[in-house]
């Protein structure tokens, strides 16, 4: 049976998913670096938006490396 993953994640879930500190996720969300929105008093993250952000960030870093070579 395939595991069902939530499409909307909490700050703690994103921190575990990205394997970074919760305070880093909070700062990145607040600064607009990480795609997120506030629902009342808490941050929420769409899993597909986080995955797109990862892919975009990876492509940008790969292009930087190629330019240096």
Query: For residue 39, what are the contacts with CB-CB under 8 A and spacing of at least 6?
Result: none
Please spell the DSSP secondary structure of 30-58, one letter per residue: HHTSS--EEETTEEEEEHHHHHHHHHHHH
Number of helices followed by number of strands (H, E) in the chain: 3, 3
Structural domains present in the chain: 8-68 (1.10.1660)
- State the pLDDT at residue 3: 61
What pTM was computed for the model? Answer: 0.82
- State the pLDDT at residue 1: 54
Per-residue pLDDT 10s for the chain (69 aa) are 556 666 999 999 999 999 999 999 999 999 999 999 999 999 999 999 999 999 999 998 888 788 877
């Amino acid at each position: 049976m395939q595991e069902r993953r939530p499409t909307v994640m909490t700050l703690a879930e994103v921190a575990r998913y990205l394997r970074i500190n919760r305070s880093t996720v909070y700062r990145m969300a607040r600064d607009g670096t990480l795609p997120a929105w506030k629902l009342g008093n808490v941050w929420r993250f769409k899993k597909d938006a986080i995955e797109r952000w990862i892919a975009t960030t990876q492509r940008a870093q790969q292009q930087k490396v190629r330019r240096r070579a």
